[in-house]
Amino acid sequence: MAGTIHKEENQVYQFDFSSAVWSTDKLNSLFNNTVASILSDVDFVAETDSDILFVEYKNSNIASASNPNAFVPSSDKSTLKIAYKFYDSYIYIQACGHKKPYRYIYILEYPMGDSTTRKMIRNKIASKLPFQLQTDGDIKQQIISSFEVLSIDEWNNNPLYSKFPISSA
Amino acid sequence: MSIKKISVENFTVFEKLDIDFSKGINVFIGENGTGKTHIIKLLYSACQAVRKDISFSHKLVKVFKPDDLKISRLVRKNPGDLGANIKVISESAAISTKFSKLTKKWDAEVFSEEKWERQLGDLTSTFIPAKEILSNAWNLEAAVDKNNVDFDDTYVDIVTSAKIDITSGRDTTDRKKYLAILQKITTGKVTIEKEKFYLIKPGNQAKIEFQLVAEGIRKIALLWQLIKNGTLEKGSILFWDEPEANINPVHIPVIVEMLLELQRNGVQIFIATHDYIFAKYFEVKRKAADDVMFFSLYESPNGVQCERNIYFKDIKKNSIVKAFNALLDEVYDKNLGE
Q: Is B211 on the interface with A (CB under 8 A)?
A: no
CA B71 and chain centroid, separation: 21
More confident residue, B145 or A73: A73
pTM of the model: 0.87
Average pLDDT in the B209-213 region? 81
| Angle of helix B276-285 versus helix B319-335 axis, rounded to 10 | 110
Q: What is the pLDDT of residue B148?
A: 67
User: Which helix (H) or strand (E) covers residue B25, if one does?
Assistant: strand B25-30
Mutate to test the interface with A, among B292, B335, B336 (most CBs of A within 10 A): B336
For A:88-147, CB contacts with B below 8 A are 112-116, 119-120, 122-123, 126-127, 131-132, 135
Q: Is B332 on the interface with A (CB under 8 A)?
A: yes
Q: Cβ contact (<8 Å) for B328 and A116?
A: yes
DSSP assignment of A100-117, as one string? SPEEEEEEEE-TT--HHH
Of B284, B313, B328, the CB nearest to A120: B328
Beta strands in B206-281 (DSSP E): 207-209, 237-241, 268-272
pLDDT (tens digit per residue) in B265-297: 899 999 999 999 999 999 999 999 999 999 999
3-state DSSP helix/strand/coil percent for chain B, to nearest 5? 40, 25, 35
Neighbouring residues of B7: CB distance < 8 A, sequence distance ≥ 6: B17, B18, B85, B86, B87, B89
Q: What is the pLDDT of residue A54?
A: 98
pLDDT (tens digit per residue) in B298-310: 999 989 999 999 9
d(CA B309, CA A138): 52
Q: What is the pLDDT of residue B178?
A: 81
Nearest CA among A96, A97, A121 for reference residue A109: A121
Q: Is A62 on the interface with B (CB under 8 A)?
A: no
Average pLDDT in the A26-41 region? 91
Residue B198 is which amino acid?
Y
Range A129-133 contact pairs with CB under 8 angstroms and sequence separation of 24 or more: A129/A83, A129/A86, A129/A104, A130/A87, A131/B335, A131/B336, A131/B337, A132/B335, A132/B336, A132/B337
Q: Which of B5-9, B170-174, B302-306 shows the lowest mean pLDDT across its residues?
A: B170-174
Q: Cβ contact (<8 Å) for A123 and B284?
A: no
pLDDT at residue B171 above 80?
A: no
Q: Cβ contact (<8 Å) for B332 and A112?
A: no
Nearest CA among B323, B319, B291 for reference residue B306: B319
pLDDT at residue A112 above 90?
A: no
Q: What is the pLDDT of residue A14?
A: 96
Number of H helices, E strands in chain B: 10, 14
Q: What is the pLDDT of residue A46?
A: 97
The conformational region for residue B157 under phi > 0 = left, psi -120 to 50 = alpha, else beta, is alpha
Q: Is there a contact between B82 and B10 (Cβ–Cβ < 8 Å)?
A: yes
Q: What is the pLDDT of residue B161?
A: 87
Neighbouring residues of A79: CB distance < 8 A, sequence distance ≥ 6: A73, A121, A124, A125, A128
